[in-house]
Structure formats: C-alpha cells, structure tokens
C-alpha cells in the first residue's frame, strides 16, 4: 500500500483514513442517528489493526463526544495513529450550536483534553463562515503550532480566495473539502490551486454520505432515524435520489470485477485524482471498516475511469 505525504508536512498517510463524524452519536443537529460507543471503539481498533494510520474528527461531532470516544479508543491501542480535529463550531449548555473563529484557544484546550494528547497532529478550521475573522483565526492557529499544541495546521471547506488570505500569514498544510462522483465542485479551481501550492487534500464524503455504498435503498432512506441529518439532504430526496441510486448500481458492476462494493469503487475514484492525498471514510462498526478498506489498494484502470465518466455524462 502506497503512502502519500500530506502537503509539506512530515506525515505520510494511508490512502484511507477513519472518519469519526458518526461516532459522535445522536441527539445533536448534524447527527447520523444513534451510535453505540463500544461499536465505535471496535471500529476504530479494526481500522488501526488493518493499517489505517490517521483519524479525522471534530469538536462539534456529537458536541465533543466523538473526540472523547476517539481519545479513549486510541489510548487503548498500542499503535497510535495521527489525530486530526477541527475548530470553529461551539455550543452551549442548551446544545445550541454557533460558528465562531474567535474562541480557538479555548477550543484547542478542550480538544486536547478530550483526545487525551499533548499535541494535535493536524488542527483545522472547520468552516470559514465567519469570513471577516479568517486572518485572526489563522494567526491563532499559527501561534498554536509555534507553541507546540498542534503539529500542523489546515483548513476545511475553504475557497481559493480564503486560502490565499491564510497563505499570506502562514502556510496551509492541507485542505479538507467534500469530493465524490456526486459532488465535483472542487475540480475546477480548488484542486488545481492545492496542487500548485503543495497543499495536501483529504476529501470527505467520497461515498456521498452513504449514497454510493451500494447498500442504500429508497426504503432505507425512508426509515432513517428522525435525528439523521440525511433525511433533509437534497441528494436523499427525489428527483436526485433515484439518479444517485442508479449511479451506485452502476458502481456495483465495476466493483463486481474486483470483488468489492460500490462504495469501494466510489472511494477509489476520488483517490485516482492526483490532487487527492487521502480520503476520509466513516465507519460505525468493524464490519463497515473492513468492507471499505480495499479502497486503500484498489486502482481503477483508465478504461474504468472513462467508463464511469461516460455513465455520469449520460445520467446528469
């Protein structure tokens, strides 16, 4: 399995990393529904056992709970993966969420405590919604790196213009954008910019929140838990839902040639882009983790990439 360097950092990543969004559990605004902590810990341990060497989480996932679960799982493991987390979304005692880039020093201390580490390997600004505060926030992240609280700093969901503003203050090690067959917006400007500036890219939602796994059906969508954010997502509603499930069915045919799922093909498709360093893939059980791990080794042929593109062109 080939490792890739994340930007200009000293971190060489496995092609697939463990995404801990769903690990946060239910009962918050952007949850994936209820999740058992023991299953989460078992999933993380399975990922580490298979060779995954990085975990991506965020303070907001489960309102701190994901970081706590990740911290516990890693503490119990003899192998220590790189830990990535994010700042910029905070909450109060009523579990109300707000976005701010002005409380990062408090946030990092809380993340260090929950993750049970002395330094975070990659600390990222989650969303640049508070655009006017980007420079101040990025300066704080640069200071935290200098102080040793974080080893590397990156951004998530940033535009080229916003990254340029950060780069004028301190280098960006990585960008975390959404990227999948169903969401290719970053291809036009953002990925070329990252390649030009040696910014690593760890894409999230390569299976588009489960739509491209091959396991999703209309019946399953209809029965998603009330607190699952996907119930209200446009891609999970008609007319897009039928189109998206047809894409997944097509990917199943590609996967059958390799003995893998549609989701593995979807992940491998994103990894074929030279701008992508590695992909974030969520896992809620050891079985899910084991099912997607083949994406770390699958290499789609040029003919298969063209076949996928032709299908997408005819099913817009």
Question: CA–CA separation, 152 vs 20, rounded Å?
Answer: 19
Residues with a catalytic annotation lie at 61
At 143-179, the pLDDT tens digits run 999 999 999 999 999 999 999 999 999 999 999 999 9
Residue 222 has pLDDT above 90, yes or no: no
Residue 277: predicted pLDDT = 98
Q: What is the pLDDT of residues 230-289, one digit of tens each?
A: 887 888 888 889 999 999 999 999 999 999 999 999 999 999 999 999 999 999 999 999
Can the peptide bond before residue 239 be classed as cis, meaning omega within 30 degrees of 0? yes
pLDDT digits (tens, 9 = 90+) for 34-93: 999 999 999 999 999 999 999 999 999 999 999 999 999 999 999 999 999 999 999 999
* Lowest model confidence (mean pLDDT) among 13-17, 28-32, 61-65, 120-124: 28-32
Looking at residue 217, its pLDDT comes to 85
4-213+270-285 sits in which CATH class? alpha beta
The predicted structure's pLDDT at residue 53 = 98
CB 20 within 8 A of CB 57: yes
Domain boundaries, the chain: 4-213+270-285
Q: Which residues contact 4 (CB under 8 A, 6 or more apart)?
A: 12, 13, 15, 200, 277, 278
For residue 32, pLDDT over 90 is answered with no
Q: What is the pTM of this model?
A: 0.94
Q: Which residues pair with 175 in a beta bridge?
A: 155, 201
Rounded Cα gap, residues 247 and 250, in angstroms: 5
Check residue 230 and give its pLDDT: 84
Q: How confident is the model at residue 141 (pLDDT cuts 50, 70, 90)?
A: very high
Q: How many degrees, rounded to 5, is the angle at CA 156 between CA 151 and CA 161?
A: 110
8 Å CB contact between 83 and 118? no
């Amino acid at each position: 399995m080939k490792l890739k360097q994340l930007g200009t950092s000293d971190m060489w990543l496995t092609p697939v990393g463990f995404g801990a969004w769903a690990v946060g559990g239910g009962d918050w605004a952007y949850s994936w529904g209820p999740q058992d902590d023991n299953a989460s810990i078992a999933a993380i341990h399975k990922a580490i056992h298979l060779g995954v060497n990085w975990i991506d989480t965020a303070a907001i996932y489960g309102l701190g709970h994901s970081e706590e679960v990740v911290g516990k799982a890693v503490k119990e493991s003899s192998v220590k993966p790189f830990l990535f987390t994010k700042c910029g979304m905070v909450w109060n005692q009523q579990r109300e969420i707000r976005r701010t880039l002005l409380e990062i020093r408090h946030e990092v201390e809380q993340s260090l405590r929950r993750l049970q580490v002395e330094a975070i390997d990659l600390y990222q600004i989650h969303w640049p919604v508070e655009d006017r505060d980007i420079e101040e926030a990025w300066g704080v992240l640069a200071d935290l790196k200098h102080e040793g609280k974080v080893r590397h700093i990156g951004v998530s969901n940033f535009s080229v213009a916003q990254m340029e503003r950060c780069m004028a203050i301190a280098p960006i090690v990585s960008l975390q954008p959404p990227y999948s067959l169903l969401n290719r917006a970053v291809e036009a400007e953002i990925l070329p910019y990252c390649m030009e500036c040696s910014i690593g890219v760890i894409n999230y939602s390569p299976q588009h929140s489960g739509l491209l796994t091959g396991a999703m059906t209309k019946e399953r969508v209809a029965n998603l838990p009330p607190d699952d954010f996907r119930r209200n997502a446009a891609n999970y509603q008609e007319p897009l839902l039928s189109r998206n499930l047809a894409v997944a069915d097509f990917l199943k045919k590609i996967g059958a040639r390799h003995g893998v799922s549609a989701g593995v093909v979807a992940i491998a498709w994103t990894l074929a882009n030279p701008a992508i360093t590695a992909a974030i893939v969520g896992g809620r059980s050891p079985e899910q983790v084991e099912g997607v791990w083949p994406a770390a080794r699958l290499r789609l042929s040029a003919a298969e990439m063209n076949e996928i593109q032709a299908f997408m062109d005819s099913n817009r």
